[in-house]
Amino acid sequence: MPFSRRQMIFGLSATAALAPSLVSHGARAQTASPPPVIDTPFPVPQVPPLEATDYGEARRAFRTNLLRKGPSPETAPPLGTPPGATRVTYPGGPDRSLQLVGWVSHYEPSADLKPAVLFLHGGNATGDGHWEQIRAYAEAGFVTMLPSFRGENGQAGNYSGFYDETADALAAADYLENLPGVDKNRFFLAGHSNGGTLALLAAMTRRFKAAAPMSAGVDAWRYFGRYEKEIRFDWDDPREFVMRSSVCFAPSLKCPTLLLRGSEERPFDQNHLLFIERAQSAGISIDKKILPGTHNGVVPGAVAESIRFFKSHGA
């Protein structure tokens, strides 16, 4: 692995001051590049398949086969409670059998219902820095929840690499929308990096008002080609990759979606563009924007842009 996941997530200090305004959609920012050739022990399709089945239905018929079981590949200390957050536990997993930690912004429930946003963190562990990234949602009036996932920070559950973690994200969504004072009709979804990938998979499974994935991946072959050591499932089964690849189920998106990305990270490649094309062909409202910044440095601007996007959809 060329760099640690923790370096990738928490290297924010040098880039957090980047302006949130949009950069021009010039050639450098918008040029789509094909995925690089990666030597993998598993076959990689030249074009990811397009599945006819709705992703939510496909999930009900599929169970991932984990050949290795254990915690997240990223070690991290037990979770505390960052300033401005309330520590909660929510029942994670498909069968709601795991008690997982989440953080919810301070708010006073009232008859005047508030919009809410579920934010899915990047990397494979949770830290106070993730909460700092998204405080702007609470400041903008959203009830905000940041869940942790199975196997992270010493918690129970087996890391699966996006699949069972999507079940945790969906369980967190159920928890958040049922909190007192939350407006279920103004319930939004966002996430960064690995969390952006999960946000796409979650938005193809249940309805949100709108979704804003940041620096998300759309094909599992590419991700696990780079992070082979994170594979816990049977890589001889192509279905394992398909079920972790939103590009294969793009028509299943169930809400308006805005893909956000930094100008200094890998651009929207051919599979991202294929994802957008497939979603648009199904009549889904989807767009993409490039913001100034690196993979981590783009987050403050992307959060601000997502707030504008959510407000344009009734937040």
| Domain of residue 88, CATH code | 3.40.50.1820
Nearest to 267 by CA among 34, 23, 14: 34
Question: Which pLDDT value is given to residue 94?
Answer: 85
Question: Which pLDDT value is given to residue 109?
Answer: 96
In which residue are the tokens 């949130």 written?
20
Question: Which pLDDT value is given to residue 33?
Answer: 53
Residues with pLDDT less than 50, the chain:
1-31
Q: Is the residue at 78 inside a domain?
A: no
Q: Is the residue at 75 inside a domain?
A: no
Q: 3-class secondary structure for 33-88? A: CCCCCCCCCCCCCCCCCCCCCCHHHHHHCCCCCECCCCCCCCCCCCCCCCCCEEEE
Question: Which pLDDT value is given to residue 34?
Answer: 56
pTM of the model: 0.89
Q: Is the residue at 247 inside a domain?
A: yes
Would you tell me how many other CB atoms lie within 10 Å of the CB of residue 75? 14
Q: Is the residue at 16 inside a domain?
A: no
In which residue are the tokens 């050949």 written?
67
Q: Is the residue at 37 inside a domain?
A: no
Give the number of domains in the chain: 1
Question: Which pLDDT value is given to residue 87?
Answer: 97
Nearest to 171 by CA among 206, 132, 223, 213: 206
Q: Is the residue at 182 inside a domain?
A: yes
Q: Is the residue at 41 inside a domain?
A: no
Chain-centre distance for alpha carbon 303:
13
Question: Which pLDDT value is given to residue 39?
Answer: 78
Q: Is the residue at 244 inside a domain?
A: yes
β strands within the chain, DSSP E: 85-92, 98-105, 114-120, 143-147, 182-192, 210-214, 257-262, 286-291
Structural domain that includes position 246: 5-11+50-67+83-312
